[in-house]
Amino acid sequence: MHLASLTSIALMAIAALAAPTTISRRATGGLNVVYWGQNGGSTVENNDLASYCSSTAGIDIVVLAFLYEYGNGNTVPSGTIGQSCSISTGGVAQNCDALASAITTCQSQGVKVVLSLGGAAGAYSLSSQEEAETIGQNLWNAYGKNVNNSPSRPFGDAFVNGWDFDIESNSGNQYYQYLIAKLRSNFASDSSNTYYITAAPQCPIPEPNMGEIISAAQFDYLWVQFYNNPGCSTNGNINFADWKTFVSSGPSKNAKIFIGVPASELGATGTSSGAQYYLAPPALSTLVGKFSSDSAFGGVMMWSAGFSDSNVIDGCTYAQQAKNILANGAVCGGSGYAPAPTSSQPAAHTASQSPSPAPSSAAPSSAAPSPVPTAPLSVPDKGPGGPRATSVIPATSPTTVATTLVTTTSAAAPQPTDTGAVSEQTGACTSEGAWNCVGGANWQRCASGQWSVLMPVPAGTSCSAGMSANLVLVPV
């Protein structure tokens, strides 16, 4: 996984094909988006981000996952992105030079790179407007164009093209509008680049965690997770029209809506239990065809790069299949993916080319919002972060850090306390925020009054069977 303390894992991703010099990144049918930086389901992505930005990769936007620790007095978001790059709570980067270089390479190829906050497992929440605004400014100073000569920049002079919010906790969400507004207030200082605010909400409406954020803040792209939620997922009828209605009168009324899908049968949950939400390329093509002419349609988002790499059909990864569907209205035909050249140089996603109007530096909406792990936790998000109502920090105690990860391999390594063997729980639950470890290899959580589905623990770790307020992982 992406823990630096664990043994390195051999890369499984497919080598990039030779890239032609001409390609249009702007598909007529929408943009192709993939998350990169987390792994799960025994799948490991290529640690070289730039491999996903070649002209034959078929990807328009890469979302870096995740900065997952911030708030409760910590105003410098931290996390681990990819298998090497780690950013501390002080904003100090370790082994991030290669990623920084890859970001610049991607941008030179016309691929946008967006940095995501949150995820299904982490220690994040906001406690006040002041804290939110401070975090927003710190994010700009650290990852926006280096116009202020900020001393703490994990990627050096490299900058991202926007910020993504995959918030799966409902603690302090009324303050995200101020964080986002602070970010937007800086955009005008770099008129040479266009920045984006994006989000990955779950598909139910009302959305349990991001609903009030989207109601109060302006987003440019919404890649809705149309999976892991019966009633609005890809194994039934997705509620695309309901999402259009939901945002139609709010600050995100001009946002483009993307169809979020798992990139393999394991993508939704990290196990075969999520295969019901996977769409084979012909089915994805049919679904995209239903909405591609809709003015609100933005494209396809998939979780994640590693799952796409492991899922090759007719010579195309799942990401390439999605791009071919978006660009040509058909799946790959068996000879691999070959983008059609349209111009002499890559076309960047400028404000005029983007499916969404250029982001502005709008102030917070006046509309009223709806009524620390010591080391990174490598529980991935959308697919392997599976249960779409998963809350990492108990809503009843926003200052509580609910997860502990022990990465030492010495004989004195502390072991988790066994609170009694507990089998998989289903249905309603009353111990909000409680963790349940089943068999040492899987976990689930009581969130929003319901038990989540079982999710695998990070590779190379184990938990002790039982239910407790903390999920403690130890190396195996």
Residues recognised as catalytic:
168
Residue 409 main-chain phi, psi, to 5 deg: -115, 15
Q: Which of 128, 141, 142 is nearest to 177 (CA)?
A: 128
Q: How far is CA 137 from CA 76, 144, 432, in A?
A: 10, 10, 33
Pair of tokens at residue 406: 């022990």
Residue 428: strand pairing partners: 450
Q: Where are the beta strands (DSSP E) in 14-142?
A: 31-36, 61-71, 74-81, 85-87, 93-94, 112-119, 123-124
**319 sits in which H/E element:** helix 318-328
Angle 88-92-97 from CA coordinates, rounded to 5°: 110
Per-state percent for the chain, helix, strand, coil, to nearest 5: 20, 20, 60
Q: C-alpha angle with apex 33: 28 to 38, nearest 5 degrees?
A: 170
Q: Hey, which residues does 67 pair with through a beta bridge? A: 79, 117
Gap between the Cα atoms of 207 and 204, Å rounded: 5
